[in-house]
Chain A
Amino acid sequence: MLEIDNLSHVYGGGSPNAHHAIDGLNLSVAAGELLCIVGPSGCGKSTLLRSIAGLITPTGGEIRVEGTVVRQTPDNLAVVFQDYSRSLFPWMSVADNVALPLRRKNMDKRQRREAAHEALESVGLQDAGRKYPFQLSGGMQQRVAIARALAYRPTLMLMDEPFGSVDAQTREDLEDLVLKVRGHHQMTIVLITHDIDESVYVGDRVVVLSKAPAHVVGDLKVELPAPRDQISTREHPDFVHLRAEVGRLVRGHATV
């Protein structure tokens, strides 16, 4: 589904304060997988995500989505950013926000509106379509951003610290929302986070990146009983063990 070969990226190449964000990163994600990428802050996680989305051109290496080398934004890809208040369009109603990307698809107005309504329903916001983003709470705004991505029916959904700006309770609700919607839609999800617990709770697999320049230092399979539950999963011995393992890898003194 997604292959990353020997990726590297340097900001301001050639200048004395060039920043080497990624170096020699290899990664392969299978179709339908929910992969969490964790790493210390400032390690180049967002650079990686922007490279996959075709928003920046990496200085070295290659990324393939569904076998095609990424040179511009791949079709059937959607991104959910951390900062929902800036990524939603404040001048549009919630329903129009969700329907806008569908103009890229071969859909007439009625189809776009129906798809938007359906997506809003799946995130529990069927009554908010006529409202404007500023009239909603932060958690609800991020639900709208997720609905916008879902309506697009992506085969690959990228999430860049999607729950970094909401309170703890909302965060748990949104984590469960992602687990719920991935069951309904057949898609691959790559979720970037700095929260170790979150990566183990949500992911099928957790990849740990090093400090910048980033490369993969750990790749763990998460085999926790489904469906996951905020209370019982988090007290499961395997969860406790895995989060400790990921934590050690993130801090750079791994035992394996």
Chain B
Amino acid sequence: MSAQTLSRARPASTTTRWSRRAAGALAFAALIELAGRTGLIDAEFLPPATEIVGRAVTLLADPAFLGHALTSLLAWAMGLGIAAAIAVPLGLLLGSVPIIDAAMRSVVEFLRPIPSVALIPLVALVIGTGLQLRVTLVVYASLWPILYNTMYGLRGVDPLAKESLRSYGFGPLAVLLRVSLPSSAPFITTGIRLAAGVALILTVSTEIVAGRGEGIGVFIFFAGIAVPARMADILAGVFWVGLFGVVVNALLVAAERRAFRWHHAQLGERP
């Protein structure tokens, strides 16, 4: 009994985990700093970390940059929201009606491997390069992780849980909404979290390829084509995009842990 308790490695506490992550990030920054300062890499290509972060902080006071950031945020949030609003009901439909699933499968399997970035020129020609282009491509790319996770979650719903509700006289729709949907919610949420990262990539790359209007990607694009290229600006833009991704992911992980304590308890993890 006690041997078992001893042999099981205790998961690191939250503070320990965060301090380890911070240490990793600081070490990486120190490496960049060193490379720049010693001239190992030409500072024109890779400015020291302190310079990048310094520039990133001063950009916060720049109204033009904040405008870019806000536009990107809008495209990201709209795209992700619309993708979830389409993918969750679609996943519920495909996951619970085998005939529709079979009929749609070939279409889904054809569309899924197409890299969203490859669609940028086509979509740009059809609907222009404004917000609609970004949102459309973000929706397209974010759809898949949510759709697949919803269908995967539905497959894992316990038949006995469904039978329990059916035995009280509930019909198929009630069983879908009251048992299958909440039971797959942890998987759907994971899908949305994965999609949030994909959406961020698509937002910025669409902006860079479109190369006009507003957006962090546009800001990075213009810093890149300037002569000489404003490397600190490029990397400061990248810094904010990356930080945003990390924060969103961490918030969603925390939300999942809180909301789905029952799910983690079922898996035998510490709630």
Which residues of A does B touch, CB under 8 Å?
50, 53, 55, 72-75, 77-79, 81, 83, 86-92, 100-101, 104, 132-135, 152
Does chain A have a CB within 8 A of B161? Answer: yes
Measured in the bound complex, the distance between the Cα atoms of B259 and A132 in whole Å is 13
Q: Which residues of the other chain, A, contact B260 by a CB distance below 8 angstroms? A: 91
Beta-carbon contact of B265 and A90 below 8 Å? yes
Given contacts A90-B265, A90-B266, contact A55 B160 (CB under 8 A): no
Beta-carbon contact of B170 and A134 below 8 Å? no
Beta-carbon contact of B179 and A89 below 8 Å? yes
Residues of chain B in range 158-187 having any CB-CB distance to chain A below 8 Å: 158, 160-161, 163-170, 178-179, 182-183, 185
Q: Which residues of the other chain, A, contact B244 by a CB distance below 8 angstroms? A: none
Q: Which residues of the other chain, B, contact A50 by a CB distance below 8 angstroms? A: 163
Beta-carbon contact of B266 and A134 below 8 Å? yes
Which of A88, A90, A100, A152 has most chain B Cβ within 10 Å?
A: A90
Beta-carbon contact of B160 and A87 below 8 Å? yes
**Of A55, A74, A75, A101, which is within 8 A of B163 by CB?**
A55
Given contacts A83-B160, A86-B158, contact A55 B183 (CB under 8 A): no
**Of B158, B166, B168, B182, which is within 8 A of A91 by CB?**
B182
**Of B161, B166, B261, B265, which is within 8 A of A55 by CB?**
B166
**Of B161, B163, B183, B265, which is within 8 A of A134 by CB?**
B265
Nearest 8 pairs of A and B residues by beta carbon: A101-B168, A134-B265, A79-B167, A90-B262, A87-B164, A86-B160, A73-B169, A91-B182
Contacts A104-B168, A134-B265, A135-B265 given; 4 further ones with Cβ under 8 A? A81-B160, A87-B161, A90-B262, A100-B178
Q: Which residues of the other chain, A, contact B182 by a CB distance below 8 angstroms? A: 89, 91-92
Q: Which residue of A lies closest to B170 (CB)?
A: A104
Does chain A have a CB within 8 A of B230? Answer: no
Q: Which residues of the other chain, B, contact A135 by a CB distance below 8 angstroms? A: 265
Q: Which residue of A lies closest to B169 (CB)?
A: A73
Could you write out 7 A-B pairs with CB less than 8 Å apart? Answer: A50-B163, A73-B169, A77-B169, A81-B163, A89-B182, A90-B262, A135-B265
Beta-carbon contact of A91 and B185 below 8 Å? yes
Q: Which residues of the other chain, B, contact A83 by a CB distance below 8 angstroms? A: 160
**Of A77, A90, A133, A134, which is within 8 A of B167 by CB?**
A77
Which of B160, B161, B167, B262 has most chain A Cβ within 10 Å?
A: B167
Measured in the bound complex, the distance between the Cα atoms of B266 and A132 in whole Å is 12
Write out, one digit per residue, whether chain B residues 178-221 have a CB within 8 A of any chain A CB (1) or not (0).
11001101000000000000000000000000000000000000
Beta-carbon contact of A132 and B262 below 8 Å? yes
Q: Which residue of B lies closest to A86 (CB)?
A: B160
Q: Which residue of A lies closest to B186 (CB)?
A: A91
Does chain A have a CB within 8 A of B263? Answer: yes
**Of B166, B167, B183, which is within 8 A of A78 by CB?**
B167
Q: Nearest-CB distance from B169 to chain A (Å)?
A: 5
Q: Which residues of the other chain, A, contact B160 by a CB distance below 8 angstroms? A: 81, 83, 86-87
Given contacts A79-B164, A132-B262, A134-B262, contact A104 B179 (CB under 8 A): no
Beta-carbon contact of B163 and A78 below 8 Å? no
Q: Which residues of the other chain, B, contact A53 by a CB distance below 8 angstroms? A: 167
Beta-carbon contact of B166 and A132 below 8 Å? no
Q: Which residues of the other chain, A, contact B163 by a CB distance below 8 angstroms? A: 50, 55, 81, 87
Q: Which residue of A lies closest to B161 (CB)?
A: A86
Write out, one digit per residue, whether chain B residues 108-145 have a CB within 8 A of any chain A CB (1) or not (0).
00000000000000000000000000000000000000
Measured in the bound complex, the distance between the Cα atoms of B179 and A87 in whole Å is 11
Beta-carbon contact of B168 and A73 below 8 Å? yes
Q: Which residue of B lies closest to A56 (CB)?
A: B163
Q: Which residue of B lies closest to A134 (CB)?
A: B265
Q: Nearest-CB distance from A138 to chain B (Å)?
A: 14
Write out, one digit per residue, whether chain B residues 225-259 have a CB within 8 A of any chain A CB (1) or not (0).
00000000000000000000000000000000000
Measured in the bound complex, the distance between the Cα atoms of B266 and A91 in whole Å is 10
Beta-carbon contact of A91 and B183 below 8 Å? yes
Q: Which residues of the other chain, B, contact A81 by a CB distance below 8 angstroms? A: 160, 163-164
Which of B260, B261, B262 has most chain A Cβ within 10 Å?
A: B262
Q: Which residues of the other chain, B, contact A89 by a CB distance below 8 angstroms? A: 161, 164, 179, 182-183
Q: Which residues of the other chain, A, contact B161 by a CB distance below 8 angstroms? A: 86-87, 89
Q: Which residues of the other chain, B, contact A92 by a CB distance below 8 angstroms? A: 182
Q: Nearest-CB distance from B11 to chain A (Å)?
A: 19
Q: Nearest-CB distance from A234 to chain B (Å)?
A: 32
Q: Which residues of the other chain, A, contact B179 by a CB distance below 8 angstroms? A: 89
Q: Which residue of A lies closest to B266 (CB)?
A: A90
Q: Which residues of the other chain, B, contact A133 by a CB distance below 8 angstroms? A: 262
Measured in the bound complex, the distance between the Cα atoms of B165 and A78 in whole Å is 10
Measured in the bound complex, the distance between the Cα atoms of B265 and A88 in whole Å is 14
Q: Nearest-CB distance from B175 to chain A (Å)?
A: 11
Q: Which residue of B lies closest to A154 (CB)?
A: B168
